[in-house]
Amino acid sequence: MKKLAYAFIAIAGILALLILAEGILIPLVFGVIVWFLGKSFKRLVEKIPYVKKKLPGAVVNILVFVLLVVLIGTLSRLITNSVDTLLLSYESYEANIKHIVEKLNAQFHVDIFQSVQQAVEDFDYGEILTNIANSISGVFSNVIIILVYAAFMFSEESSFKNKLVKMFPRDDEYERSSGILNKIGTSFSDYIRLKTYVSLLTGAVGYVFLLIMGVDSPFFWALLMFLLNYIPTIGSLVATIFPAIFSLLQFGEYTPFFIILIGLGIIEWLIGNVIEPKLMGNSLNLSPLVTILALIVWGQIWGITGMLLSTPITVVMVIVFSQFENTRSVAILLSQNGDISSLPKKE
């Protein structure tokens, strides 16, 4: 009973820390993600013969970091401009709702204006869109501190192994700790890298499709598709519905709405159900139910940002829990099929 009480106190303390330290922890987590992406870039750069033979590791780190700074800075500026343009033009589209309702009334001979108007009032699309835009802008407004965190992680790479050896002087302790960290790093890096490739493909195809359809701010919607692709199940649904609803407001016609809804739905389905499984397989080893529950829990703690980070955080939790006898049962429960034999075992 006493252990259960201690467990509840510990969980409550961790939740309070996550909520109260949100402003510090979220940039730190994104800094870790940028660092892992940088490591993936570094491996690609080191495949160039000249770089591998002539440049020392520290110089390669600097080159990769500069590349990340330029890339993130450019992306941040494009996002800010797209969000500002979209939010300024949104009010002019709302008038098209009345036109759509009148067409429906005339076609079906039913006075649905009041019910549709009430539905529109209850579902404040503009407010939801603003919240999503603010969440995206909020992440990139912390771009300086995120890059600072990532820079220090790059600088610590060379000395970290020596620190680990001194922290765990016994060979068995060092091997176990190194195995845990390597497994976390490999799983996390693989997930971020492969999911980024899939998300980039989704955003690029979506951008071309929306550009052809003449939807305003296609870059913003492509970015939204890219980011929401990190959110399991719900993300792809939202990334399909929101641009379609926006096209309804923009054009005042429901034909483009259905074309865009079906077109984006096909794109999301093909990439999410055909291409992504072939790339990622079952390497994450997470139960689908756990994935959805993690999405809800982290969404409550950190909002949309928490949803984006829910899956990689849960992967790390499974790996860490599998290393300790008292929490191995939790890791088995969180896994997809109960098989955690592929994870580094406790010595």
What is the 3-class SS of 115-183, one letter each residue? HHHHHHHHCCHHHHHHHHHHHHHHHHHCHHHHHHHHHHHHHHHHHHHHHHHHHCCCHHHHHHHHHHHHH
DSSP state, residue 343: S
Percent of the chain with pLDDT strictly greater than 70: 74
Residue 202 — very low, low, confident or very high, per pLDDT cuts 50/70/90?
very high
State pTM to two decimals: 0.72
Write down the pLDDT at residue 41: 77
Q: Which two tokens stand for residue 288?
A: 């689908």
Query: Has residue 339 got a pLDDT over 70?
Result: no
Distance CA(93)–CA(250), nearest Å, equals 5
Scored b (16 or more CB within 10 A) or e, 71-97 reads ebeeebeebeebbeebbeebeebeeeb
Query: Has residue 110 got a pLDDT over 80?
Result: no
Average pLDDT over residues 300-325: 80
Query: Has residue 56 got a pLDDT over 50?
Result: yes
Contact 264, 239 (CB under 8 A): yes
Write down the pLDDT at residue 152: 82
Residue 205 — very low, low, confident or very high, per pLDDT cuts 50/70/90?
very high
Residue 207 — very low, low, confident or very high, per pLDDT cuts 50/70/90?
very high
CA–chain centroid gap for 84, Å, is: 22
Write down the pLDDT at residue 344: 44
More confident residue, 52 or 151: 151
Cβ count near 119 (within 10 Å)? 10
- The mean pLDDT of the chain is 76
Computed over its alpha carbons, how large is the radius of gyration of the chain? 23
Write down the pLDDT at residue 129: 58
Least confident among 55-59, 76-80, 133-137, 267-271? 133-137
